[in-house]
Structure 1
Amino acid sequence: MAHTITPREKLDFGLDGDIPKYWFGGDPFKTRLFDAMSTIFPEGERFFISCVRDFRDQVTDPQLRQDIKDFMRQEGQHGIVHGQYNERLKRQGIDVDALEAFERKMLFEFERKYLSAEQTLAETAAAEHMTAIMAHGFFARKEVLESADHRMRALYAWHAMEEVEHKAVAFDVMQKVAKVGYFRRVMALVLVTVGFNIHCLHTTNYMLKVDGFTGWQRLKLISKGLWWLFKPGGLYTSMAGHFFQYFKPGFHPWDEGQMDSYRLWLDTFNRTGDPVQAGEVLHAAAP
Structure 2
Amino acid sequence: MMNTHSSEHPIVPREKLDFGLDGDIPRFWLDNDPFKSRFFDAMSTFFPEGERFFISCVRDFRDQIDDPKLLAEVKDFTRQEGQHGIVHRQFNDRVKAQGVDVDRIERLTVFLLFKVLRVYLPKKATLALTAAFEHMTALMAHGFEAAKVMDKADPRIRAMYTWHAIEEVEHKAVAFDVMQKVAKVGYVRRVFALILATIGFPIGTFLVVNHMLQADGFGLFKRLGLMAKGLWWLYKPGGLYMPILGHFMAYFKPGFHPWQTGQMDGYAVWLETFNRTGDPIAAGDASIRSH
How many Å apart are 1:148 and its aligned residue?
1.0
Q: TM-score, normalised by structure 1?
A: 0.98
Which amino acid in 2 is paired with 1:119? Answer: A
Once residues 141 and 30 of structure 1 are traced to their aligned partners in structure 2, the CA distance between those partners, rounded to angstroms, is 14
Identity across matched positions, percent: 65
Q: TM-score, normalised by structure 2?
A: 0.97
How many Å apart are 1:239 and its aligned residue?
1.1
Which amino acid in 1 is paired with 2:154? Answer: D
> What does residue 120 of structure 1 align with?
126
For the 8 Å contact 2:214–2:223, the answer to whether it is kept is: yes
> What does residue 44 of structure 2 align with?
38
Deviations for 1:29-63, whole angstroms, at most 9, x for unmatched residues? 01111000000000000000000000000000000
Once residues 269 and 146 of structure 1 are traced to their aligned partners in structure 2, the CA distance between those partners, rounded to angstroms, is 18
Which amino acid in 1 is paired with 2:155? Answer: H
Once residues 202 and 290 of structure 2 are traced to their aligned partners in structure 1, the CA distance between those partners, rounded to angstroms, is 29
For the 8 Å contact 2:77–2:174, the answer to whether it is kept is: yes
Once residues 85 and 127 of structure 1 are traced to their aligned partners in structure 2, the CA distance between those partners, rounded to angstroms, is 21
Report SS of the residue matched to 2:210.
Answer: helix
Once residues 261 and 160 of structure 1 are traced to their aligned partners in structure 2, the CA distance between those partners, rounded to angstroms, is 11
Once residues 275 and 110 of structure 2 are traced to their aligned partners in structure 1, the CA distance between those partners, rounded to angstroms, is 35
**Alignment root-mean-square deviation, CA:** 0.8
> What is the aligned length?
285
For the 8 Å contact 1:43–1:104, the answer to whether it is kept is: yes
The alignment status of 1:26 with 2:32, answered yes or no, reads yes
The alignment status of 1:103 with 2:103, answered yes or no, reads no
> What does residue 218 of structure 1 align with?
223
Once residues 195 and 150 of structure 2 are traced to their aligned partners in structure 1, the CA distance between those partners, rounded to angstroms, is 27
> What does residue 289 of structure 2 align with?
284
**Structure 2 unmatched ranges of 5 or more:** none
Report SS of the residue matched to 1:282.
Answer: helix
> What does residue 227 of structure 1 align with?
232
For the 8 Å contact 1:48–1:124, the answer to whether it is kept is: yes
Deviations for 1:232-278, whole angstroms, at most 9, x for unmatched residues? 11011121111110000110000111122211111111111000000
Which amino acid in 1 is paired with 2:13? Answer: P
Once residues 151 and 138 of structure 1 are traced to their aligned partners in structure 2, the CA distance between those partners, rounded to angstroms, is 17
> What does residue 54 of structure 1 align with?
60
How many Å apart are 1:25 and its aligned residue?
1.1
For the 8 Å contact 2:274–2:280, the answer to whether it is kept is: yes
The alignment status of 1:130 with 2:136, answered yes or no, reads yes
Once residues 199 and 45 of structure 1 are traced to their aligned partners in structure 2, the CA distance between those partners, rounded to angstroms, is 16
For the 8 Å contact 1:139–1:282, the answer to whether it is kept is: no
Report SS of the residue matched to 1:145.
Answer: helix
1:203 to 205, 208, 222: 208
> What does residue 257 of structure 1 align with?
262
> What does residue 279 of structure 2 align with?
274
Deviations for 1:142-175, whole angstroms, at most 9, x for unmatched residues? 3x22211111111000000000100000000000
Q: Which runs of 4+ in 1 moved over 6 A?
A: none
For the 8 Å contact 2:147–2:240, the answer to whether it is kept is: no
Once residues 281 and 199 of structure 1 are traced to their aligned partners in structure 2, the CA distance between those partners, rounded to angstroms, is 33
